[in-house]
Amino acid sequence: MTLSPADLARHVDHTLLSPTATAAQLAALAAEAVALGTYSICVSPSMLPVTAPLGTVLVATVCGFPSGKHTATIKAAEAADSIARGADEVDMVIDLGLVKAGRWDDTRSEIAMVRASVPSPKVLKVIIEAAALTDEEIIAACQAAEAAGADFVKTSTGYHPSGGASVHAVELMARTVGGRLGVKASGGIHDWDLAVALLEAGATRLGLSGTAAVLAGHRSAGY
């Protein structure tokens, strides 16, 4: 895959989800996103609405983050509040306990409840924490997300001790959703080569907090 930094940037949700994030950091994030040409910024719900100039850059936020152990009712209410305060996209964390217990009807139900709070054309991404799952669980979680009407499946929050995005997980997720849903790779993506490898594996969006450094790696990688 031959990509310029500008090409890669158009796949990026430029992310600031630190618990200590400030309004000044949000303003800097927005300015950097515009300068780099990223697809969106991704921020915590408490930082909405975003009043900094964004041009064509969209606003994403998170829901049930980072543990996923909120009730479906709370997740749906959180998502609805974020949409009302200007979010274009919501990245929800599923309850991994339901996945590990094989409770797929309940998994689909909670995703569907959040989907109802994020009406199309708003975008719903479903974070499955792929590094914490078996291949069979990854496939079933992606199938549940699709059945519940999600727009994307997403690898990771970046906060789980099992790790973040991997090429293997992205390949498996992309194969499972077959282009019907987008695939977002997020968590632990700190260099150009990994970012490109994830796109080659089937990712259609990348969650990056160090976007400028990743893009600068285009040069250091010899391109």
| Positions marked active-site | 91, 154, 184
Would you call 41 exposed, middle or buried from its count of C-beta atoms within 10 A (0-12, 13-18, 19+)?
Answer: buried
Contact present, 171 and 201 (Cβ < 8 Å)? yes
Structure tokens at 97: 């306990």
Tell me which residue of 117, 119, 180, 109 sits closest to 148, measured CA to CA.
109
CA distance to 10, 191, 203, 208, 211, per residue, from 220 (Å) = 20, 10, 23, 18, 15
Q: What would the 3-class secondary structure string for 195-219 be? A: HHHHHHHCCCEEEECCHHHHHHHHH
Structure tokens at 204: 């259609």
Say which residue the tokens 């829901």 belong to: 63
Contact present, 40 and 19 (Cβ < 8 Å)? no
Contact present, 156 and 165 (Cβ < 8 Å)? yes
